[in-house]
Structure formats: structure tokens, C-alpha cells
């Protein structure tokens, strides 16, 4: 596991994210499921252009400004 995945476990609603699988952008709505510790996210509900989807932490990244 890399540091990026760990930082993605505590994203807040409204955070802009991008899918690692197809480059689709989205925005965090809320945590969908939590890890066993009850604090870190396992997956998020994400608003995308095609509707709301559930993305696992490892399937997304937070883009950095250029």
C-alpha cells in the first residue's frame, strides 16, 4: 500500500477526485463504507457527470493543481 492510498482514507465531502481506472472526475459526497477502525474510509459515494457511483479508496486520486 502506498502513502496516497492512506491519505485517501480521510477525504471530506466536496473533495475533487479522479478515477484511476478511466480518468473520470468526480466529487466526494460522503463515506460509503468504513474500514474496521470506524474512522478511515473503505469507499466513497462520488458525484460524477453520469450520476452517483461508489468508488473504493484505491480506485481514486486527488489531483494536484498545476
- 44-63 pLDDT tens trace: 999 999 999 999 999 999 99
Which CATH entry fits the domain spanning 3-61: 2.30.30.280, 2.30.30.140, 3.30.420.590, 3.10.20.600? 2.30.30.140
**Which residues, including other chains, have CB under 8 Å from residue 45's CB and lie 6 or more apart?**
28, 29, 30, 31, 32, 52, 53, 54
Cell of 9: 482514507
State how far the Cα of 2 lies from the Cα of 48, in Å rounded to an integer.
Answer: 25
Report which of residues 3 and 52 the model is more confident about: 52
pTM, 2 dp? 0.88
- Provide the β-strand partners of residue 51: 48
State how far the Cα of 31 lies from the Cα of 40, in Å rounded to an integer.
Answer: 9
Amino acid at each position: 500500500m502506498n502513502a496516497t492510498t492512506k491519505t485517501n482514507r480521510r477525504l471530506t465531502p466536496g473533495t475533487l477526485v479522479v478515477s484511476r481506472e478511466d480518468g473520470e472526475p468526480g466529487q466526494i459526497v460522503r463515506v460509503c463504507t468504513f474500514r474496521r477502525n470506524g474512522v478511515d474510509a473503505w469507499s466513497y459515494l462520488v458525484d460524477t457527470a453520469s450520476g452517483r457511483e461508489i468508488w473504493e479508496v484505491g480506485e481514486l486520486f486527488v489531483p494536484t493543481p498545476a
